Each structure stands twice: as C-alpha cells, then as structure tokens.
Amino acid sequence: MERVRRHFIFYGYIQGVGFRWRASHTAQRYGITGWVRNLDDGSVEMEAEGTENDINDMIDVLKGHIWGSIDDIISEYIPVQGSHVFEIV
C-alpha cells in the first residue's frame, strides 16, 4: 500500500495523561513513523507516516484513550518524508 504522511493537532484534555506515550506505542505497533509533541496551548501536535489504514487505526486507538479526551482533531496531508522512527519530541 502507498504511504502517506499526515499532520495532526489534537485538542482536549490530552496533556499530562500519557497521550504522547500512547501515540508512540501505537505508532510502533502499526509501523507508523513520525513524531508527537505537546504545544504551549495545551494541544498536541503529531506527524504520522504510514498506510492510510494504519494511520486511521492509530487515530481510532488514540480516540479511545481512557485517561484523557480528544475534543477535536485537525488533520492535513503533507509530503511523505521517508522517516524510519516515531519519536516523542
């Protein structure tokens, strides 16, 4: 399957609840590369590169995170970068 890369901003109660760790763990499980980081306004930014299905599955897992809550997600497609790891930055 073709690889895509998407940029996400997650809004809600997601900082300080293990969201970035969960994103990293889930990315590894699905073979997704990219990165995730907290932003100063309380949101979380992420870039994810993998197949469309794997990225969608990852987002579904993150939506089901039991320690926090996602109120909104903004997403856009960006150019594939060919990264090889998923990092918490």
* Span 34-79, pLDDT tens digits: 999 999 999 999 999 999 999 999 999 999 878 889 999 999 999 9
Region of 3 please: left (phi>0), alpha (psi -120 to 50) or beta.
Answer: beta
| Claim: this prediction has a pTM higher than 0.75 | yes
Q: Which residue has the higher pLDDT, 21 or 1?
A: 21
Q: Active site residue: 3, 5, 6, 38, which one?
A: 38
Across 8-21, average pLDDT: 94
3 labelled catalytic:
no
| DSSP-assigned beta bridge partners for residue 3 | 51
Q: H or E element: which one contains 45?
A: strand 44-51
Q: What CATH number was assigned to the domain covering residues 9-88?
A: 3.30.70.100
DSSP, res 84? -
Dihedral sign for Cα atoms in the order 81, 87, 89, 69: positive
37 labelled catalytic:
no
Domain-wise residue ranges, the chain: 9-88
Q: Active site residue: 6, 20, 53, 56, which one?
A: 20
